[in-house]
Structure formats: structure tokens, C-alpha cells
Amino acid sequence: MFSFFKKLFGPGTDFKALKEAGAIILDVRSPQEFDRGNIKGSKNIPVNNIQREISNIKKWNKPVITVCQSGARSGMAKSVLKAAGIEVYNGGSWFGLQSKLR
């Protein structure tokens, strides 16, 4: 679907360019963590709900950048989404990604 993004951005992903190209930021922290701070415009689906939300995420028809507090949960979410055939990148911590998007 969006495999050209992988070729374009490669291992040193340019998250800012990916976001500008339409990628969706998916914050996989709990709703309480999300409410304490998040990237403007990001969507919140806790990591333990990712599997049951795959069909909805596929409907976005856009690459996904996963984030969490440290990068661990976003890595788990990335694995689940990738296995489902979704173009996905691990953005690591939401705060770190927010800095890269400026």
C-alpha cells in the first residue's frame, strides 16, 4: 500500500516528512497518560486494544507512526500492525517524536 514510504525514508526515518505526507500518529498509551500530554492530532488506542482495532486502523488507509511513553509499547503495537499488513513505523516516545516534528 504505502511501501514506497519505506524505500523513501529507509532506516533513518524522517518522521516529519512522513507526517507531512499524511501518516497518522497512533499513541498506544492509556487514556489517562494520553490526557496528561500528547501530540496534537494524534489518535489514542491503548496497546492492549490494538488487535481488535486493526480493521478500523486499516480503514485509515495511511501509514501509521506508533508512540508511547518510552518506545516499548509502541514497538509491540508496531509488530501487531505490521503483521496485519499495515505500513507502520515506531516513533518511540511521544515527547521525543513531538520534538522531531517541529
Smallest Cα–Cα separation from 65: which of 85, 40, 94? 94
**Structural domain that includes position 32:** 3-100
Question: What's the rounded mean pLDDT across residues 71-84?
Answer: 97
pLDDT confidence of residue 9: 42
Average pLDDT score, the chain: 91
Grid cell digits, residue 98? 513531538
pLDDT exceeding 90 applies to what percent of the chain? 86
* Total number of domains in the chain: 1
CB 77 within 8 A of CB 43: no
CATH number at residue 43: 3.40.250.10
Query: Region 11-21: what's the mean pLDDT?
Result: 90
d(CA 90, CA 79): 9
User: Is the pLDDT score of 10 beyond 50?
Assistant: no
